[in-house]
């Protein structure tokens, strides 16, 4: 008997958060997000941010799907991108995705944008600001 093809559903984002760290409790497997932020401040530009996490909670997906996370500068230039896969067993499942970024360099002030796509389709975006520190 031929196997029935599995339908691919594109997920929706329940949350997309930028933070300093993501800790996962070993017994409950629950994530704890530490140091949520919307702005990076630096004394001078360009500036290198040592480590940040982009945390996504996704649902309504089905099957194994490729994803793409990009960071766009204020001039729409791609600063960073990473690819991977996420797998959904059932559409009601929630899959948490923790993407750690190290050494991201910001060359200009303004609004940067993380864009997340799954299966070739846009799912969510999250903006944040890069600013120079105020001098006393």
CATH number at residue 60: 2.60.40.2550
72 close to 29: Cβ distance less than 8 angstroms = no
In a domain? residue 6: no
| Mean pLDDT within 5-22 | 86
Average pLDDT over residues 69-92: 95
Average pLDDT over residues 96-102: 96
Of 32, 41, 5, 9, residue with least CA distance to 98: 32
In a domain, 31, yes or no: yes
Domain with 77 in it:
12-132
Q: Does residue 105 carry a pLDDT above 60?
A: yes
* Statement: residue 4 has pLDDT above 90: no
Which pLDDT band, with edges at 50, 70 and 90, does 3 fall under? Answer: low
Let me know if residue 4 belongs to a domain. Answer: no
The pLDDT-based confidence of 50 (bands split at 50, 70, 90) is very high
pTM for the whole structure: 0.89
Number of structural domains the chain divides into = 1
1 falls within a domain = no
Dig out the tokens for 9 from the structure.
């559903």
Give the residue among 57, 54, 55 at the shortest CA–CA distance from 95.
57
Contact 45, 109 (CB under 8 A): yes
């Amino acid at each position: 008997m031929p196997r029935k093809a599995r339908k691919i559903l594109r997920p929706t984002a329940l949350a997309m958060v930028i933070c300093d760290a993501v800790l996962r409790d070993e017994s409950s497997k629950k994530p704890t997000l530490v140091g949520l932020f919307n702005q990076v401040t630096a004394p001078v530009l360009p500036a290198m941010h040592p480590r940040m996490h982009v945390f996504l909670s996704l649902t309504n997906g089905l099957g194994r799907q490729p994803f793409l996370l990009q960071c766009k500068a204020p001039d729409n230039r791609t600063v960073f991108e990473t690819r991977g896969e996420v797998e959904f067993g059932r559409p009601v499942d929630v899959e948490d995705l923790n993407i750690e970024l190290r050494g991201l360099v910001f060359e200009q002030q303004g609004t940067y944008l993380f864009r997340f796509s799954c299966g070739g389709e846009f799912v969510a975006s999250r903006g944040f600001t890069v600013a120079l520190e105020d001098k006393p």
